[in-house]
Structures are given as C-alpha cells and as structure tokens.
Amino acid sequence: MCFCLGFLLSRILSGLSIVYLPGAKKEGLLYAFSSTAHKKTVRLVLFLWLIFFSIVPMFGIIMAFEDYNPGLGMLKSPFIGLENFRYMLQISDVRQAIVNTVIIAVAKIIGNIIVPLTFAILLNELCLKKIKRPIQTIVYMPHFLSWVILAKIVLNIFGYTGPINQILGFFGQSPVQFFGEPSLFRPLVIGTDIWKSFGYNTVIYLAAILGIDPTLYEAAAVDGAGRFRRIWHITLPGIRMTVALLAILALGNVLNAGFDQIYNLYNPLVYSTGDIIDTWVYRYGLQNLQFSLATTVGLFKSVISLILITLGYWLADKFTGYKLF
C-alpha cells in the first residue's frame, strides 16, 4: 500500500504543471512546484521515502523461508526453503481462514455494488428534492467513523440486552447471542460493512447518474416511457461503465475481508466462520510468536492479491478503457 501511494504521488507531482495569468505574482508554494529543480527535489524525496518505508521492510519476507529465531535474527536463522508453505497448507485453521476470507470479501464486494446502486437510483428518482441532500448526508456519515467506534455501537445494538433482543422479547422470542453464534457472524459482518460503506459508493453512482444527458429522459417521457422504463433503458445503460469499472477494480480485494472490522467484532466462539487471514496472521504471528508461519501466510496472501489486482487493472483497461498510468 505504501509502495502504491508513493508511486502515485511521484507520478502526480512529476506531471504537475501550474498555469498563471499574465501579471500573476511569481512566488509562493505553487510557483515553487512549477520549477523543474523543485519538482526534481520532491521526486527525490518521494523516491527515498519509497525506498526506506516500502522496499527496505520487504527484506523481512525472508522469514517465510526460515525457521526464524528472534535470538539469532533473520540473517543467522536456519534456511528451510518452502517447508513453511507446505506446513501452512496442512493446517486446517489456515484453510478455514482462507475460505472465510474469500466468502466474506466476495459477499462484501457484491453487496457494496448492488445496495449503493439501488439506493442511488431510488434517491435520484426522489421527487422531494429538499430531503434528497439530507438523506445523502446521513447515509454518508458512517463512512467517516472508525470501526473502533462502530464496533462498539454494533455490539451494543446486537448485544444480549440490546434493543434488537428487546424487540425479539416483545414478540415472545428468546434472546439471541448474535456475536456468539458462528452461523450469524458472517451475515452480521457483511451487513454492517455494507451499512458503513454504501453511503460513499452511493455518491459515486449519483455522480455517474448526474452525468447522463437529461434530454434522454425528456424524450423518453414524451414517447410514453414510465419511470421504470426510463431507469432500465437510460439510467442503467448510462452508468454501466462506472459499475463495471468499480466491480473490476474490487477484484483485488478478494482476500481483504477487513481486519479492523472483524478484529473488533469477533471472539473465540466464532473463529470457525469469522477468522480471516489477517486476524490469523495477527494472532499467530504477534500473540503466539510464530513469526515464520505468519510471514508465510501473509506473503501467500500478498502474492495472490498482487495477481488479482494486476488482473483487475488489465480487465479494466480491456473492457472500460481505464488506465491508472
């Protein structure tokens, strides 16, 4: 991630050009950026930052090929080749964590496309324009909150004495331990993630919808097309490239199920359905001090994610003409 951020910043600043009106005062930060010498200095700083904070730490991946001993260090620990990878594939917990990661991540990707798209279309068709912006702001607010805060809210809402169980008790139902039932944990994780994120994605789809020529709707209305027909034949085709692009770019997140969310919500009772690769690496690597095995699993995830991200950008370029660089 740091590597990508540094590379993006260097690319942006390398192509930065400042346009001044005649007679403009040539001083200040913006003018400094227009100088070739200053741009070279900025690129050098970013390159050094990239080296020290993104490339040098990658030296630690050699632990995946060693029987790492903290007392000996990385350079003196015995080299064992691919033995850690063979052992990783034999551990049932790792296989279950990979399955959980893929299921949760894919469900989040699908939900974060369908729900915001549907909500954006409904919000765009809302006749009362005065309440459209307040609704958009309200659903957008959870996106800015950390999972440290939201997890506490969710745990209280679905707690044993929380409002959901109180409503169930009002209808004569027994209280449910929502975050103690493995079968309920995945739907809760997926649902709360969609609730947190769909406001942000809704803004993207609304921006795409606003880019559609309004005369198309007027012509369709004159021809007798109803609201549903206009949505089906104008709105959806008009934003299909945006939907396709976001779906393709999300391909790289297949192995990213959301560490911060799950770490703040899960417990040992739901490890069978809630433990993902990131939480497994954290638990075994930092808590159980199995550094080599944790590095092996993390490296495996990173390689697969890199392949999927590369495939996603290739598909985006092929089907939508989107190019990052």
Q: Within this chain, do residues 96 and 22 fall inside the same structural domain, yes or no?
A: no
pLDDT over 80 (residue 290): yes
| pLDDT tens track for 127-154 | 777 788 888 888 888 888 899 999 999 9
| pLDDT tens track for 184-196 | 999 999 999 999 9
Q: Is residue 229 situated within a structural domain?
A: yes
Average pLDDT of the segment spanning 31-57? 73
Q: Within this chain, do residues 203 and 296 fall inside the same structural domain, yes or no?
A: yes
Q: Is residue 325 situated within a structural domain?
A: no
Cα dihedral 149/150/153/155 (nearest 10): -110
Q: Which of the pair, 294 or 31, is modelled with greater confidence?
A: 294
Q: Within this chain, do residues 36 and 130 fall inside the same structural domain, yes or no?
A: no
Q: Is residue 74 situated within a structural domain?
A: no
- Average predicted confidence (pLDDT) for the chain: 81
Whole-angstrom distance, CA of residue 295 vs CA of residue 77: 14
Average pLDDT of the segment spanning 304-315? 82
Q: Within this chain, do residues 187 and 60 fall inside the same structural domain, yes or no?
A: no
Find the distance separating the first CA and the last CA of the chain, reported in whole Å. Answer: 16
What is the model's pLDDT at position 325?
Answer: 57
Whole-angstrom distance, CA of residue 109 vs CA of residue 113: 6
Q: Is residue 95 situated within a structural domain?
A: yes
Whole-angstrom distance, CA of residue 106 vs CA of residue 314: 19
pLDDT over 80 (residue 7): no
For residue 66, the SS3 value is strand
For residue 38, the SS3 value is helix
Beta bridge partners of 66: 79
Q: Is residue 272 situated within a structural domain?
A: yes
Q: Is residue 41 situated within a structural domain?
A: yes
Q: Within this chain, do residues 22 and 137 fall inside the same structural domain, yes or no?
A: no
| pLDDT tens track for 234-281 | 898 888 888 888 887 787 777 788 889 999 998 889 998 988 988 888
Q: Within this chain, do residues 202 and 277 fall inside the same structural domain, yes or no?
A: yes
Q: Is residue 204 situated within a structural domain?
A: yes
What is the model's pLDDT at position 190?
Answer: 93
pLDDT over 60 (residue 2): no
Q: Within this chain, do residues 52 and 93 fall inside the same structural domain, yes or no?
A: no
Q: Within this chain, do residues 30 and 113 fall inside the same structural domain, yes or no?
A: no
Q: Is residue 108 situated within a structural domain?
A: yes
What's the total number of domains in the chain? Answer: 2
Q: Within this chain, do residues 54 and 107 fall inside the same structural domain, yes or no?
A: no
> The tokens 């954290």 sit on which residue?
282
What CATH number does residue 293 fall under?
1.10.3720.10
Q: Which of 3-17, 50-64, 82-96, 297-311 has the lowest mean pLDDT?
A: 3-17
Nearest by Cα to 109 from 183, 187, 193: 193
Whole-angstrom distance, CA of residue 306 vs CA of residue 319: 20
With contact defined as beta carbons under 8 Å apart, do 198 and 119 qualify? Answer: yes
* Burial class of 259 by CB neighbour count within 10 A (0 to 12, 13 to 18, 19+): middle
Q: Within this chain, do residues 155 and 219 fall inside the same structural domain, yes or no?
A: yes
Average pLDDT of the segment spanning 39-68? 83
What is the model's pLDDT at position 8?
Answer: 45
Q: Within this chain, do residues 55 and 97 fall inside the same structural domain, yes or no?
A: no
| pLDDT tens track for 163-178 | 999 998 888 888 888 8
What confidence category does residue 54 fall into, taking pLDDT thresholds of 50, 70 and 90? confident
What is the model's pLDDT at position 157?
Answer: 92
Q: Provide the residue type at 262 as one letter.
A: I
Q: Which domain holds residue 33?
A: 2-65
Q: Within this chain, do residues 274 and 231 fall inside the same structural domain, yes or no?
A: yes
Q: Which of the pair, 287 or 107, is modelled with greater confidence?
A: 107
